[in-house]
Amino acid sequence: SDDTVFQAGSISKSLTAWGILHLVDEGRLLLDDPVGKYLTKWKLSNLEFNNNEVTIRRLLSHTAGLSAHKGYL
């Protein structure tokens, strides 16, 4: 119902990946670009992460190393 509250969680992963790959096909972004190139207000601590290694490809494959943070990003 309209009153039911739930988290989308994993449901959104495949749709997000499809949208990203569509943008790659259009030449609007590259999988190996740092995510900060596109999300300019989203910054990680340079003490914990090499921001150039947090790429779109690594975020999509869950290998960007963000598991050190609790909760949602």
5-22: per-residue pLDDT in tens? 777 767 788 888 999 999
Buried b (16+ CB within 10 A) or exposed e, 48-73: ebebeebbbebbeeeebeeeeeeeee
The strand pairing partners of 55, in sequence order, are: 34
User: What's the pTM value of the predicted model, to 2 decimals?
Assistant: 0.67
Q: What would the pLDDT profile of 28-57 be if each residue is shown by its tens digit?
A: 999 999 888 888 887 776 666 666 678 899
User: Do the Cβ atoms of 30 and 56 come closer than 8 Å?
Assistant: yes
Instruction: Tokens for 26, please give them.
Output: 């259009």
Task: Check residue 48 and give its pLDDT.
Answer: 66
pLDDT reported for residue 23: 97
Residue 34's φ and ψ, nearest 5 degrees, are -60, 140
